[in-house]
Amino acid sequence: MPRTRNMIDSETRLIALLGWPVTHSASPQFQNAALKVMSVNTLYLAFGVPPEQLGDALRGLRALGALGANCTIPHKEAAFALCDWCAPEARVIEAVNTVRFHEGRMLGYNTDCYGIAAALAEEGVGFHDARVVVLGAGGAARAIVAQAMLDGATHLTLVNRTVRRGEQLVLHLLEHCRQLDTQACTHPLPQCQVIGYDEIKPALADADILINATSVGMRAEDPLLFDATFLNPRTFVYDTIYNPPQTRLLIEAKQNGCAKTANGLGMLLHQGARALEIWFERAAPLELMRKELLQPRLLRRV
């Protein structure tokens, strides 16, 4: 009997999503919808993997003949260290969110840079000539800061609980971000500062773009990282969290006059589509993926 695209058989390949936690993720639904349309005999499944077991998980997937993996919070930086080879953007950012298993090797990529730029563009927003504030210094923040530098932000403020960690990240990216550009940039690098949350008020007063790149907000009980009255109403507020679709940050930003806000669905969509293109070396069905991702059943509310 001929195999249909919905049939699982002995030739079905696996792509895994590794995170901790991972039950909130909408990636399996919209990625599997894309895989069906692409008529590839592949399944995309999510696995909760504690940080200390990430190496075992990736090596196990490679041994099982998996096609690839996505790594999400908190695994992106650790995945970088585990890969045998990394693409230029992943080497600069030192974070990997997409792994391709090829000829016994783990190849690392980072599609978050592309994802944030494409997501902002759809909102009519860009980093060029902007004053940008980024919360966090983890894997997602690394990609966002690098893209802001690359796209010509004039001023960049990184806010992190551990200022020293943030300073190390910014210094590294200032030195290496040009490697991400295949056509040499002509704009100057942004003025940068790294501060703690107790110093955030002046930075928010002048911000054109505020991006939360932390996991704070995934739970209804998560507190806001700063006083929302510090927000400037003209600031575009973007939360990389997409589930719940309205985080406390986005709710309080609107309550304090910020007319333009967005959650992380756009970034998720575009980084996921780029990952498919890496695994299959063909275009992803972007609009179908978007339609699937916007299904209310995939997302919860605070």
Nearest Cα residue to 37 out of 6, 68, 61: 6
Nearest Cα residue to 171 out of 210, 145, 196: 145
- The DSSP call for residue 223 is P
Distance, CA of 148 to CA of 129 (rounded, Å): 10
Residue identified by tokens 């990997």 is 96
Phi, psi of 48 (to 5 degrees): -80, 115
Distance, CA of 287 to CA of 75 (rounded, Å): 28
How many residues comprise the chain? 302
Q: Strand 98-102 relative to strand 209-212: parallel, antiparallel, unpaired?
A: unpaired
Distance, CA of 150 to CA of 301 (rounded, Å): 34
List the catalytic residues.
76
